Amino acid sequence: MYCLICSDKKDSLDLRMQNREEHLKYVQDSGLVFFAGPLLSEKDVMVGSLIILNVAKRSEAKEWSKNDPYNRAGLFKNIKIIKFKHLI
């Protein structure tokens, strides 16, 4: 499994919302997402994404991320891909 920690560019909520439906469809249809949700500011504004992918290789996580509609739209200022072990 791999974890994607994606930080949105500053003041990009409109861009996020414009691409949200396509992103959620991609998440659902890919069949690889174990767990996912938005990262929030202290004011409960979406400022990023946390996505846990059920893939064996970092290259698979990178490819999934590359094709994510949010990423294709230029929403993220950075994406960290980190190996993840599910315990509980």
Domain assignment present for residue 88? The answer is no
Number of domains within the chain: 1
Domain assignment present for residue 58? The answer is yes
> In CATH, what number is assigned to the domain containing residue 53?
3.30.70.1060
Domain assignment present for residue 29? The answer is yes
Number of alpha helices (DSSP H) and beta strands (DSSP E) in the chain: 3, 4
What average pLDDT does this structure show over 12-30? 97
What average pLDDT does this structure show over 77-81? 98
Instruction: Return the pLDDT at 34.
Output: 97
Counting Cα atoms < 13 Å in the Cβ hemisphere of 23 gives 24
Domain assignment present for residue 60? The answer is yes
Q: Amino acid identity, residue 52?
A: I
Domain assignment present for residue 78? The answer is yes
Instruction: Return the pLDDT at 6.
Output: 98
What is the extent of the structural domain holding 60? 2-83
Whether the model clears a pTM of 0.85, i.e. scores above it, the answer is yes
Domain assignment present for residue 25? The answer is yes
Domain assignment present for residue 39? The answer is yes
